[in-house]
C-alpha cells in the first residue's frame, strides 16, 4: 500500500501533555501530527479543515468536553476515527465517549507503545479497546440510566441539599423530591444519599464543580 503517514490530531487542554504526544508521534515515520486543539470547540474546527485520520481526544476539558465533541464530530463525519483519552476517574465517561462514537479508549498513563499501537489499530481496523478498559466495561455493564430529572437531583444531593431544599430548587414538592432521591439510590444500588453521591462520583456520573 503506497499511502502516506497516518494523519493525527491531538486534543487536550494540557499543553505539556500534547507535547508528549507530539514527541511520541515524531519518532514514528508512519504517524504525522497534523493538528492540535486545546478543547472540543477548536477540535471541531480543525477536524473540518484537516480531516485527520485518527484523533486523540481528552475527555476532561473545560469549555467543551470530549464526549460532547465526539458526538458532534461523529454526527457530522460518521467515519471519524476518534480515540478517547482520560485519566480514568470514572466509567460513565467511557460509556459516554463510546456511545458518542469513540472508536477506542486509552488511559492517560498508557505506555508509549500502547498509544502508538492504538492509533495504528484504530486506523487499520476502525476500533480498539485495551484489556483494562474492556474489563471495566464488562464489570459495570449493568449501565445505570438516570433520567435528566434524577441527574439534576443527584447533583443537588452532592451539594448537600436536604429533600426540602431540593424540592425548592426544582420548584416541586418535597414528596416529589423524595421520590427522585429514592430512585437515584435504587438505580445506583445504595442505601443512603451519601453513598449515592460517592458512587456517582467514582463512576463519573457526576463531577465536583
Partner DNA sequence: CCGAAGATCAACCGTTCGGTGTATTGCCGT
Partner DNA sequence: ACGGCAATACACCGAACGGTTGATCTTCGG
What is the contact surface with DNA in residues (CB under 7 A)? 145, 147-150, 162-164, 170, 172-173, 175-176, 178-183, 185-186, 191-194
87 backbone φψ class: left, alpha, beta (φ>0; ψ -120 to 50): alpha
- Smallest distance from DNA to CB 175, Å: 3
Please tell me whether residue 189 binds its own copies under the rule CB under 8 A: no
171: left (phi over 0), alpha (psi -120 to 50) or beta: left
Rounded Cα gap, residues 161 and 158, in angstroms: 7
Q: How far is the CB of 99 from DNA (least distance, A)?
A: 16
147 binds its own copies (CB under 8 A): no
Kindly tell me the number of DSSP H helices and DSSP E strands found in the chain: 10, 5
Order of strands across the sheet with 104-107?
A: 31-37, 6-11, 54-58, 81-86, 104-107
Per CB under 8 A, does 177 bind its own copies?
no
- Structure-block grid coordinates of residue 108: 492517560
Segment near its own copies (CB under 8 A); pick from 44-52, 94-102, 104-112, 128-136? 104-112
Asked if 159 touches its own copies (CB under 8 A), the answer is: yes
Q: To the nearest whole angstrom, how small is the minimum distance from the Cβ of residue 189 to DNA?
A: 10
Task: Provide, for the chain, the percentages of residues in helix, strand and coil under a 3-state DSSP scheme, each rounded to the nearest 5.
Answer: 50, 15, 35
Report how far apart, in Å, the C-alpha atoms of 123 and of each of 3, 80, 120 are. Answer: 13, 10, 5
Among candidate residues 203, 100, 96, the one with its CA nearest the CA of residue 158: 203
Asked whether 10 and 33 are in contact (CB, 8 A), the reply is yes
Regarding 110 and contact with its own copies (CB under 8 A), the answer is: yes
Cβ of residue 154: shortest distance to DNA, in angstroms? 11
Nearest distance from residue 16's CB to DNA, in Å? 40
From residue 16 to residue 35, what is the string marking binding to its own copies with x (rule CB under 8 A)? xxxxxxxxx-----------
Q: How far is the CB of 72 from its own copies (least distance, A)?
A: 23
Quick one: cell of 76?
457530522
What, of DNA, its own copies, none, does residue 87 touch, CB below 5 to 8 Å by kind? Answer: its own copies
Does position 139 interact with its own copies (CB under 8 A)? The reply is no
Q: Which is nearer to its own copies, 51 or 207 (CB)?
A: 207
Residues of the shown chain interacting with its own copies in the complex, contacts defined by CB under 8 A: 13-24, 87, 89, 108-112, 115, 157-160, 162, 190-199, 201-202, 208-209
Amino acid at each position: 500500500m503506497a499511502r502516506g503517514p497516518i494523519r493525527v490530531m491531538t486534543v487536550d487542554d494540557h499543553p505539556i501533555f500534547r507535547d508528549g504526544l507530539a514527541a511520541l508521534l515524531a519518532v514514528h515515520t508512519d504517524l504525522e501530527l497534523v493538528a492540535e486543539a486545546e478543547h472540543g470547540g477548536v477540535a471541531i474546527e480543525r477536524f473540518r479543515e484537516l480531516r485527520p485520520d485518527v484523533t486523540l481526544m481528552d475527555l476532561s476539558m473545560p469549555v467543551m468536553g470530549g464526549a460532547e465533541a465526539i458526538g458532534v464530530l461523529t454526527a457530522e463525519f460518521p467515519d471519524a476515527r476518534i480515540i478517547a483519552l482520560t485519566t480514568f476517574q470514572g466509567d460513565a465517561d467511557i460509556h459516554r465517549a463510546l456511545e458518542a462514537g469513540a472508536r477506542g479508549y486509552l488511559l492517560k498513563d498508557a505506555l508509549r507503545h500502547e498509544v502508538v499501537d492504538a492509533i495504528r489499530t484504530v486506523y487499520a481496523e476502525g476500533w480498539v479497546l485495551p484489556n483494562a478498559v474492556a474489563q471495566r466495561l464488562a464489570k459495570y455493564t449493568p449501565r445505570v440510566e438516570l433520567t435528566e430529572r434524577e441527574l439534576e437531583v443527584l447533583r443537588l444531593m452532592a451539594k448537600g441539599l436536604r429533600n426540602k431544599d431540593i424540592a425548592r430548587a426544582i420548584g416541586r414538592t418535597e414528596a416529589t423530591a423524595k421520590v427522585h432521591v429514592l430512585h437515584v439510590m435504587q438505580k445506583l444500588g445504595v442505601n443512603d444519599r451519601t453513598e449515592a453521591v460517592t458512587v456517582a462520583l467514582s463512576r463519573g456520573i457526576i463531577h465536583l464543580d
